[in-house]
Structure 1
Amino acid sequence: MLEGLLPNDATHYMRVSAPEGDARRIADLIAETFDPAEVAVANFEQPDGVWAVEAYAGSAFDPDMLRDLVVVAAGEDFAARVEFGELQEKDWIAASLEGLAPVRVGPFHVHGSHDRARVPPNGIGIEIEAALAFGTGHHGTTQGCLAAIVDEARRGTPRRVLDVGTGTGVLAIAAARRFRTLVMAGDIDVVAVRTGKENARANASAPFVRMVLAPGVDAPALQREGPYDLILANILLPPLKRLAKPLRPLLAPGGRVVLSGLLESHANAALAAYRAQGLKLVRRRNIEGWTTLTLSAGGASARPLF
């Protein structure tokens, strides 16, 4: 999932301030409506305690539709406050990051470079540079996947990990930092792959993370390194359903699949597609209206931790 990545052709932005609940509903509805490769959206708390929603797009920028979505999510009053504008030649991504506090999930602390000093000595810091991405880690889908990685660590160490739709690479980096094992990471977008490589290097994970430009899981490099004990897929419902059948042969006996990018109302549809491939639900985790599913192939899998 291209969470937090600026679309390649971004030229315009939308911005609106609202209380936290309204801001989250606005951001979630925009994220659900548009292709994340075409429209990037983030919501975050500002220093004054009011939340902001920002959306960035190029050819997909549609002010009327965006305003209508704000009406549906939060009402006419907030739609009247929406601001639109053209992107200027400035480090607007860094400005967005300044208002974001680090996100903690178990030992993981996802943060910007401005918060590097806030990572505790026993924490696993994952730094996403402001020049490359914004908002990563603050979305409920990413948090759910990070929590699933923490769950997997309690079981042992997977021999091979696959991250489908890696985006900024935050999940691949988290798995590499926690398990110190090979993590294959694929994405259909060349910008995402380049960003993931840079983030892996910045987070001392490059020796373990291999980024691949790949739609789905059919790339020879991804096929060659399987089967995988842990597969992460934080994307959207339609591609998750399409992946169910081709992904199944890549899962090792006893391996686990973590699915996210799902609204709570979409989770059962994804679950049905993977149950049809013989997988069983292990855990359903809901965070801020988004669902993360962990499924198992049954049998033994992860190696014990020593």
Structure 2
Amino acid sequence: MIERSGLACGAIETGHAPGSEVEMLEGLPPNDATHVMRLSAPEREARRVADFLAEHFDPAEVAVANFEQPDGSWAIELYAGEAFDAELLRELVTIAAGAEMAAQVSFHAIEQTDWVASSLEGLAPVRVGSFIVHGSHDRARVPTNAIGIEIEAALAFGTGHHGTTQGCLAAIADMAKLGTPRRILDVGTGTGVLAIAAARQFRRPVVASDLDDVAVKTARENARFNGAGPFVTLHLAAGVDAMSVKAGAPYDLILANILLPPLKRLARPVRPLLAPGGWLVLSGLLPNHANAALAAYRAQGLKLVRRRDIDGWTSLILSATGAAPRREDIY
């Protein structure tokens, strides 16, 4: 649901065992989760089950994680704030991978924890263009000619370490080569990393929205700490329908790093907010979701400017013309 856009922004790295490779996490990060479903399977079956379950559940209610384990097998985990319907889950897994696989499904109650904090331990700084996203322990490693963005663990996410966030940062760097957008919007801001990057790069007003109050508070604190506070205005708002978001339109750069279902629902209401010659950046997409997202936005008269694939995730830059904006359009 787009109403949870700040927390359903595609993917984050999980705090699983060292050496595990996270392939996807669709839906809410499980900071408020109380129950988890687990299943181990070969990679092919794990991907199929994870994709099937992600399509079945509302990402505002259930997070689906799929990752490689240290022993080479793959795991599927579902997180939710209430107990799962075990019979339903086993039936769905049976449809996706057979009864033998469904019999291996297990259910557990979990304690609430800030597992985003665990996921950040030991992560190296990430550089995208002139941006370096880092934790406090790497503050001294940021060159003076780079735009350092310090993001610590929080109950919202967007640390710069995932391909979805990196794709958006790269799009901001692309825009910087062409000129300076007058107005910028970040839909589903999470930690505020993209809003901060845009504000630091362009020194222009950025409107950032999220329905989750933890995300809004986190993003506001991060913006202040990173010297972007005067430029970033945070709104506790659902999608782009709030008057506080519409009031800033038209936007020359709109960033939406969420998931395919809310991105598709966003297509119609966000189109009037995009300035002539402006860019709309979509992320949080698996490669096989890109065409579905493009179809929704092409129906609104937008065309593909550039597609970028990073670490198994796809980011799209769209405009009304399918071309880079002219400098006079964005100054």
Give the TM-score range, shorter chain. 0.7 to 0.9
Question: 1:20 & 1:106 partners in 2: Cα distance?
Answer: 33
- List alignment gaps of at least 5 residues for structure 1: none
| Offset, 1:32 | 6.5
Partner Cα separation in structure 2 for residue 22 and residue 124 of structure 1:
42
The residue number in structure 1 matching 2:206 is 183
State the distance in 2 between where 1:43 and 1:97 align: 18
Contact 1:11 1:58 in 2 (8 A): yes
Listed one character per residue, the Cα deviations across residues 88-136 of structure 1 (whole Å, up to 9, x for unaligned) are 5766443321132222211112222233233222222222222444662
Matches within 5 A, 1:165-204: 165-204=188-227
1:302 aligns with 2:330: yes
Tell me what 2:81 maps to.
Answer: 58
Return 5+ residue gaps in structure 2 as ranges: 13-27
Deviates more, 1:217-226 or 1:94-103: 94-103
Match of 1:245 in 2: 268
Paired residues of 2:182 and 2:252 also in contact (CA < 8 A): yes
Q: Which one of 92, 109, 129 corresponds to residue 132 of structure 2? A: 109
- Please give the root-mean-square deviation of Cα atoms over the aligned residues, in Å: 3.9
- Aligned counterpart for 2:172 among listed residues 149, 153, 172: 149
Output the CA distance in 2 between the equivalents of 1:93 and 1:295: 31
Q: Percent identity?
A: 71
Tell me, in whole angstroms, the C-alpha distance in 1 between the residues paired with 2:126 and 2:50.
18
After superposition, give the CA deviation of every residue in 1:183-215 in whole Å (9 maximum; x if it has no partner): 111123222222221221222211111111222
2:308 is the counterpart of 1:280: no
1:99 match: secondary structure: coil
Equivalent residues in 2 for 1:12-23, closer than 5 Å: 12=35
Distance 1:53 1:124, change over 3 A: farther
Q: TM-score normalized by structure 2?
A: 0.73
Kept after mapping to 1: 8 A contact 2:216/2:234:
yes
Taking a change above 3 Å as real, the CA distance of residues 160 and 293 of structure 1, as seen in their structure-2 partners, is same
Specify which structure has the bigger relative contact order, considering alpha-carbon pairs within 8 angstroms and separated by 6 or more residues. Answer: 2
Structure 1 segments (4+ residues) deviating >3 Å: 3-8, 12-47, 50-57, 60-66, 82-93, 131-135
Aligned to 1:124: 147
Measure, in 1, the Cα distance between the counterparts of 2:122 and 2:43.
14
Instruction: Report the 3-state secondary structure (helix = DSSP H, G, I; strand = E; otherwise coil) of the residue aligned with 2:281.
Output: strand
